[in-house]
Amino acid sequence: MAAYRFVPAVLALIAIVSYPYPFGILFAAISALFIPPLALLYGVLFDVLYFVPGASAAPLGTVLGLIGWGMAVVVHDFVKTRIIGG
Amino acid sequence: MKMPFSRTRRSQTALLKRGSALTIGIVLGIVALLFMLRTVFPGVLTTLAAPLWSAGNALTGGAGDFASVFGDKAKLAQERDMLAKENASLREQNAALTARAADLTRLLGGRPEAANSILAGVMVRPPVSPYDTFVLDAGASAGVRAGASVEGAGGIPLGTIESVAENSSRALLYSAPGRVTQGWVGENRAPISLEGAGAGAFRTSVPRENAVAVGEVVYVAGPGALPIGTVVRVETDPSSPRAVVHIKPLAHLFSTTWVTVSE
């Protein structure tokens, strides 16, 4: 697996703990395009670090992470098919 | 020996599938570990993330200082003079109000017990935290308990402690989206239900005949009525009997660095 795929993953990790959350979401979304399950991982990380009961009806990070994973798989497979199939 | 093309491709596909399954397995394992750590050892992740949060805070402060180099010096000096005057005026006003409060306390009697407060540093605040929560550097070992109230500079109420670890705690702010807090608005203390709108802001709806005006102060219950924000916009619709009131917080959550936690 090429090393460049891990660059957005590392940036997402840094952004989640140090920068306003839209940056974390952006980098998590980009990294999920290369490694789809990372969407769930970063969603859970958001919740583990910042969620408290009462903040919202459901832990949105985890929910959005699951949705993001699904979407990333679709995009990932589509892109792969296009590249391999021509 | 040369391998046929179809066989090479099949073995590559099998390798890719195995690699994907391994990646998913690793990620799910980390997810399970994170959940377990948060449930069983709630303070561990906070301790691990604390140096990164501190570095982020320092970086943000440093960027602010660096940006100020490019500011207009004359304008800054003018602003400083204006703030100095405002500060002097507020100091006088504060002295007058303190004297008045002391007179009233003497007249009516004060609370016999002093409220115990714990000073806590804010490690994470919005907008880094997406849920309108603070992560504080004081936990059970410092005497912080779930349900305690969190106040900013000047005793402005900010929220309540929702979860406590040994050396850290998390506070849910009154402005968290959807959180409802009872309060009052204006000099005549008209009762309202404040709904959190995120990033420190609130909104509420009042009957149109209540005539809430821009600039009126909004209070929540504490020891007495504690100011929490001011009305910045009132939206009325001729077809609706109620007006939507938008409230700006008195405390700037994005730059809050210290809070007090009290029972």
Listed residue (A68, A73, A83, A85) closest to A12, CA to CA: A68
B130 and B159 inside one domain: yes
d(CA B22, CA A31): 17
In a domain, B46, yes or no: no
B88 and B121 inside one domain: no
- Report the domain count for chain B: 2
Residue B249 pairs in a beta bridge with B229
The domain containing residue B158 runs over which residues?
Answer: 116-263
B191 and B140 inside one domain: yes
For CA atoms B85, B86, B89, B91, the dihedral sign is negative
Q: Is the pLDDT of residue A86 over 50?
A: no
Return the CATH number at B181.
2.40.10.340
| Chain B positions in Cβ-Cβ contact with residue A18 (cut-off 8 Å) | 52-53, 55-56, 59, 128
Is A55 an interface residue toward B (CB < 8 Å)? yes
B82 and B192 inside one domain: no
What does the pLDDT profile of chain B (263 residues) look like in tens digits? 555 655 666 666 666 676 778 888 888 888 888 888 888 887 788 888 888 888 877 776 666 666 666 667 888 888 899 999 999 889 888 888 888 887 787 777 666 555 678 999 999 999 999 999 999 999 999 999 999 999 998 889 999 999 999 999 999 999 999 899 999 998 888 899 999 998 889 999 998 888 889 999 999 988 788 899 999 999 988 888 899 999 999 998 998 999 999 87
d(CA B174, CA B253): 11
| Chain B positions in Cβ-Cβ contact with residue A61 (cut-off 8 Å) | 130
In a domain, B219, yes or no: yes
B154 and B99 inside one domain: no
Neighbouring C-alpha atoms within 13 Å toward the C-beta of B95: 5
- Location of structure tokens 């670890």: B165
| Chain B positions in Cβ-Cβ contact with residue A41 (cut-off 8 Å) | 27, 30-31
B125 and B233 inside one domain: yes
B185 and B146 inside one domain: yes
d(CA B74, CA B63): 21
B91 and B210 inside one domain: no
> Which of B52, B131, B162 is the closest to A18 by Cβ?
B52
d(CA A82, CA A84): 6
pTM above 0.90, yes or no: no
Q: What pLDDT score does B63 carry?
A: 63
Tens digit of pLDDT for each residue in A23-76? Answer: 999 999 999 998 899 999 999 999 999 998 888 888 899 999 999 999 998 887
B136 and B190 inside one domain: yes
d(CA B179, CA B132): 10
> Which of B44, B128, B175, B255 to mutate to probe the A interface, most A CBs <10 Å?
B128
The ipTM is 0.84
B75 and B131 inside one domain: no
B250 and B151 inside one domain: yes
Higher per-residue confidence, A17 vs B116: A17
B97 and B186 inside one domain: no
> Which of B5, B30, B31, B123 to mutate to probe the A interface, most A CBs <10 Å?
B31
Helix, coil or strand: residue B256: coil
